[in-house]
Amino acid sequence: MGREKSSAAADKVVEEIRAKGGKAVANYDSVEDGEKLIQTALDTFGRIGVYYICTAMLWLSELILISNLIQRVHLRGSFLVTRAAWNHMKNQKFGRIIMTASAAGIYGNFGQANYSAAKLGRKYNIHCNTIAPVAGSRLTETVMPPDLVASLKPEYVAPLVLWLCHDQCQENGGLFEVGAGWIGKLRWERSQGDIVRQKNQPMNPEAVRDQWEKICDFTDATKPTNIQESLQSIVSVLSRVESEGEVGANPTAAAASATSTSGINPAEAVGQKLPPSTFSFNHTQCILYALGVGMSTKDPDHLRFLYEGHPDFSCLPTFGVIPSQAAMMDGGLSSVPGLNIDFTQVLHGEQYLELYKPLPTSGQLTSEATIADVLDKGSGAVILLDVNTYSGNELVCYNQFSVFVVGAGGFGGKRTSEKAPLPPPQRAPDAVVIDSTTRDQAALYRLSGDWNPLHIDPSFAAMGGFKAPILHGLCSFGFAARHVLKQFADNDPSRFKAIKVRFVKPVMPGQSLQTEMWKEGNRIHIQCKVKETDAVVLSGAYVDLHAASGASPENLPQGGGGLQSELVFAEIGRRIKDLGSELVKKVNAVFSWEITKDGKNSAQWTIDLKNGSGSLHKGPYNGKADVTFAVSDEDFMEVVQGKLNPQKAFFSGKLKVRGNIMLSQKLEVILKDYAKL
């Protein structure tokens, strides 16, 4: 189009293309008749893969008169042609749109049409970019000296357009200046800004005026690339103002400090209890969880976890994390004073789960969570949560969640945790299982109660710095645990005792998990890799199993082992009495002993503590069988006072099986001393 309505320019371009062996057709309709333009292209080429909108007009005079025309051509024209082409591109799952802007548009009053179209089209492989070319044309010859027009050749612009149209080019939503053989990309920059209102106060223009210098100060400016990044710091202002009545603080810095220096206060947080939460479930939740961690009817062994009518229908042991996480997911963590964290930056760091009895397949469980510790890891903060889950008064399981808050370190807290992750043994694994997660693994797993949008919402995942939603850590954890259960415990949930895992790298839904396992007694060390990338994703991990049953009075060890153990118990009893009755009341212990099947003098007595196990006497146990039982407080006292022989009492049925393991730290110290004997 020229200043006069004419088809000559279009015909000339068509001729030029055809002369070079290309295929071209001219359409003389207005860009406001977008449908007609696109129809002409479809009639000629059969499809629309790429289009380049160059709705150029430049009339510097008669401004008011023509502003409406400029708007109709530039804005409405671009819109109407795009709309006409959109469905064709969407259906064929490919499209490249190049818009033309001008430097005047960019620096004067830049709109976001390219950005919006880019966002909208991304999932259909339609990319939209904008170029602001400077080239000699009929348009610019009216405002530029002729020699400059001659040297700013269109050939210096066209290659950029061609590249942006190429199916290998992934650029989307970009804005480029191009001319004379030079290309540059533009982006937004945002000042740190300033908060100009106080809690419960109206915002007023005076505050804006007073902070104007800071609002416009581009020192340490940030470069938001999308609406989520933009919103993140703005949303953080809300909590900042509400909690501290802030005025005169910049939101980006506020966002940072909300998760670092002033956001985390271990002294305030540690020891805080979350409101108890109740979790009711039946076979539906057990089955849904089993499906969520990849069980399938393809494997006949899995049926006992997937079919409530199966004679051995059971709940997977790692379901033990589900009732306890409800305590945190219900918003509990966000209510803890001293833990002002940005939930878009929360990752699961580690998990420890210990079961004191096999989980039921239905019932009501109550969980009580306490902030056990807050560690300053530099690159992040680690929040440790202890969660005890009860059925009535009976302790069913204990979890320790380790929550890693990226970017929230540096608040000056202590760094170390007592439990360093264990490396796997230095030999080839005893077993390896490879299992695929599906594209919808996270979508399925979340139905068990971890509703964190990180695992389903691409925008939320982007706020955490991920290209796409990632798999729940506890989903990979469930995969690894069931691999061990099948490989080393015949899928028998009653053999499962405890599991510890560190999440070192995210897993994407659809990737395959390779679980490597090393058996060392009843401890199975594990490491998980993503098969496609060979990256280790779970490390410092192990599952503790109970040894297979098979003990009976006939094969109990005789003599030495039992006697030594009784002496040790008696000594512990004396020490406990010295500590006073308060402590004694708190003590419920599990005693276990492990015996060989041939019944020779090879007993190994252990006392299991809440956070590990204290071995009292190391016999030459060969790991073939064990017996575990618990005692009531009264019986415990009798045992530790040496009045009751635990072996005899157990087999005569006097000791009641309870499964509670609760020992105070002070007692643990004593037991550790004895472990050295």
Residue 35: in which H helix or E strand, if any?
helix 34-45
Which CB, 452 or 660, lies closer to ligand HDC? 452
Q: Which pair of structure tokens corresponds to residue 152? A: 């700013």
State the catalytic residue, choosing from 51, 115, 398, 445. Answer: 115
Angle between helices 113-121 and 77-92 (to 10 degrees): 10
Closest distance to ligand HDC from the beta carbon of 334 (Å): 7
What whole-number distance in Å separates Cα of residue 618 and Cα of residue 147? Answer: 95
Q: Which pair of structure tokens corresponds to residue 69? A: 């025309």
Q: Are 668 and 614 a contacting pair, CB within 8 Å? A: yes
Q: Are 561 and 605 a contacting pair, CB within 8 Å? A: yes
Closest distance to ligand HDC from the beta carbon of 661 (Å): 24
Closest distance to ligand HDC from the beta carbon of 439 (Å): 17
Closest distance to ligand HDC from the beta carbon of 268 (Å): 18
User: What is the DSSP code (8-state) at residue 520?
Assistant: E
Which CB, 505 or 575, lies closer to ligand HDC? 505
Closest distance to ligand HDC from the beta carbon of 447 (Å): 13
- C-alpha dist (Å) from residue 273 to 228, 269, 368: 33, 9, 7
Closest distance to ligand HDC from the beta carbon of 369 (Å): 10
Nearest one of 82, 72, 61, 71 to 105, comparing CA atoms:
71
What whole-number distance in Å separates Cα of residue 266 and Cα of residue 334? Answer: 14
Question: What SS3 class is residue 666?
Answer: helix
Residue 536: in which H helix or E strand, if any?
strand 535-545
What whole-number distance in Å separates Cα of residue 298 and Cα of residue 520? Answer: 30
Q: Which pair of structure tokens corresponds to residue 331? A: 């918003």
Closest distance to ligand HDC from the beta carbon of 95 (Å): 34
What whole-number distance in Å separates Cα of residue 272 and Cα of residue 423? Answer: 32
Q: Which residues are at the interface with ligand HDC (CB under 6 A)?
A: 328-329, 333, 346-350, 377-380, 382, 401-404, 406, 415-416, 450, 452, 454, 470, 472-473, 502-506
What whole-number distance in Å separates Cα of residue 524 and Cα of residue 543? Answer: 5
Closest distance to ligand HDC from the beta carbon of 502 (Å): 5
Hey, which bits of 137-230 come out as E strands?
A: 175-179, 182-186
Is 115 one of the catalytic residues? Answer: yes
* Dihedrals phi, psi of 627, to nearest 5 degrees: -135, 135
What whole-number distance in Å separates Cα of residue 619 and Cα of residue 602? Answer: 6
Closest distance to ligand HDC from the beta carbon of 396 (Å): 20
* Alpha-carbon dihedral sign for residues 360, 361, 365, 369: positive
Which strands form 277-281's sheet, in the order they lie side by side?
A: 277-281, 363-376, 380-391, 394-406, 346-355, 496-503, 535-545, 523-530, 512-520, 431-436
What whole-number distance in Å separates Cα of residue 459 and Cα of residue 226? Answer: 10
* Dihedrals phi, psi of 368, to nearest 5 degrees: -120, 120
Which CB, 194 or 342, lies closer to ligand HDC? 342
Which CB, 37 or 501, lies closer to ligand HDC? 501
Which CB, 326 or 589, lies closer to ligand HDC? 326
Which CB, 250 or 514, lies closer to ligand HDC? 514
Torsion of CA 518, 519, 520, 525, to 10 degrees: 50
502: β partners: 350, 539
Closest distance to ligand HDC from the beta carbon of 358 (Å): 25
Nearest one of 562, 506, 510 to 535, comparing CA atoms:
506
Task: Convert 374-419 into a string of H (helix), E (strand) and C (coil).
Answer: EEECCCEEEEEEEEEEEECCEEEEEEEEEEEEECCCCCCCCCCCCC
Closest distance to ligand HDC from the beta carbon of 106 (Å): 38
Degrees, nearest 5: CA angle 579-580-582 = 115
Q: Which pair of structure tokens corresponds to residue 650? A: 């157990």
Q: Are 97 and 117 a contacting pair, CB within 8 Å? A: yes
* Dihedrals phi, psi of 661, to nearest 5 degrees: -130, 100
Which CB, 462 or 551, lies closer to ligand HDC? 462
Which CB, 259 or 452, lies closer to ligand HDC? 452
* Dihedrals phi, psi of 392, to nearest 5 degrees: 60, -125
Which CB, 37 or 346, lies closer to ligand HDC? 346
Q: Which pair of structure tokens corresponds to residue 461? A: 């995942």
Closest distance to ligand HDC from the beta carbon of 563 (Å): 43
Q: Which pair of structure tokens corresponds to residue 439? A: 């594209």
Beta-carbon contacts of 159 under 8 Å, excluding residues fewer than 6 positions away, are none
Which CB, 50 or 333, lies closer to ligand HDC? 333
Which CB, 359 or 403, lies closer to ligand HDC? 403
Which CB, 341 or 498, lies closer to ligand HDC? 341
What whole-number distance in Å separates Cα of residue 174 and Cα of residue 357? Answer: 58
What whole-number distance in Å separates Cα of residue 67 and Cα of residue 324? Answer: 64
Closest distance to ligand HDC from the beta carbon of 395 (Å): 21
Which CB, 338 or 363, lies closer to ligand HDC? 338
Which residues does the annotation mark as catalytic? 115
